[in-house]
Amino acid sequence: MDVVFNRLNALDWPESVARPVFADYDVVAVTEANMGQLATMGIRVGGRGLGNIVLLGRGFTPLARPLSLSFQGSDNICLIEENSAVQGAIDCHTNCIAVILGGQHALSLGVNLYHGGQIFWGRAARTYGCRIWTHGGKRVIVGDDCLFSEGISIRTSDHHSIIDLDDGSQLNHPADVVIGRHVWVSPEVKIMPGVRIGTGAIIGIGAVVTKDVPAAEMWAGVPARCLRQNVSWVDSHPAAPGQVEDMYCLLGRTW
C-alpha cells in the first residue's frame, strides 16, 4: 500500500485537476479471487489483471454502467473516485496510471494507455464520448469542470513515424496534451499531440486542433484557428447570473 501511495504522491500533479486525498481510497491489488468482487462494483477486469492496482474511493458504489478495465501488463494503477459516472473501457499496458475523478453525470470514455502513459480526468468533467490514446510515456490531462460532447479524440502521438529523408530524423515526436479547467469541446473534435488548451476556452464542432489555444478564446476549423478572443461559457441557457459570476471568478476577472 505504501508503495502505491508513494508512487502517486511522487507524480507531477497537473494544476487543472483537483488532487484527491489518496488515504481516502481502498487499495485493491487485482487477484483472480477478487475479480468477481470488482465485477459486482461494475468494473470488469480483463487481460492479465494480476500485478496491477485499482484504487476506489471509500464511498464507492457500483457503477451505473459497466467499465471494462483491461491490463495488458503489470505495475498499472487505476484510481476511480467514489462518485464517478465512468463507463466504457480503459486499456492499460505496462507502468501506466489512470486517474478518473467524479462529480459528473456522464463520462463515456475509451482509453488506451501504452507503456508509461497516463491520463488525469478532472472532477466534474464530463463527456458523452471521448477516445484517448497515449504513446511514448506521455500523458493526457483534462481539467476540472470541462464539458466534452461526443465523437472527440485526443492523442499524444501519430502512432507512426514521419521521417525526414534528408537526414533520417523523425519529425513527429510524442507530446503531452494538457487541457485546462472549464473547457468546452464540441462534437467531432480532434486534439492532436502536444496541444495545450487554456482555461475557459471553447472548441467548435469538427475542429482539428494542432496549435495551443489560449485561455478564454473560441477556436474552430480545420486546422483550428481563433474566431474570437475574450469569451467563455456557462452551462445554463439563458445564462444564469450566478453561473456567469462563477465563470468570471474562475478566469480571475471582475464581473
**In this predicted model, what pLDDT tens digit does every residue of 163-179 receive, in sequence order?**
999 999 999 999 999 99
* C-alpha pair distances (Å), 86 with each of 12, 78, 157, 235: 24, 12, 24, 20
- Structural domain total, the chain: 1
The one-letter code for the residue type at 215 is: A
Q: In this structure, is residue 255 part of a structural domain?
A: no
Q: In this structure, is residue 227 part of a structural domain?
A: yes
Q: In this structure, is residue 121 part of a structural domain?
A: yes
Residue 126 · residue 85 · CB < 8 Å: yes
Nearest to 201 by CA among 230, 243, 239, 224: 230
Q: In this structure, is residue 69 part of a structural domain?
A: yes
The predicted structure's pLDDT at residue 255: 76
The predicted structure's pLDDT at residue 1: 63
Q: Tell me the pTM.
A: 0.95
Q: In this structure, is residue 203 part of a structural domain?
A: yes
Q: In this structure, is residue 166 part of a structural domain?
A: no
pLDDT tens string 45-71: 988 777 899 999 999 999 999 999 999
Low-confidence spans in the chain with pLDDT less than 50: none
The predicted structure's pLDDT at residue 159: 84
Q: In this structure, is residue 39 part of a structural domain?
A: yes
249 contacts: CB under 8 Å, gap ≥ 6: none
Q: In this structure, is residue 246 part of a structural domain?
A: yes
* CATH code, domain with 83: 2.160.10.10
What range defines the domain where residue 236 resides?
Answer: 2-161+171-250
> What are the cell numbers at 112?
488506451
The predicted structure's pLDDT at residue 110: 98
The predicted structure's pLDDT at residue 57: 94
* C-alpha pair distances (Å), 224 with each of 190, 208, 218: 10, 5, 10
Q: E-strand spans in 72-216?
A: 77-80, 86-92, 97-100, 107-113, 118-121, 126-134, 139-142, 147-148, 152-155, 177-179, 184-185, 190-191, 196-197, 202-203, 208-209
Classify strands 217-220 and 225-229 as parallel, antiparallel or unpaired: antiparallel
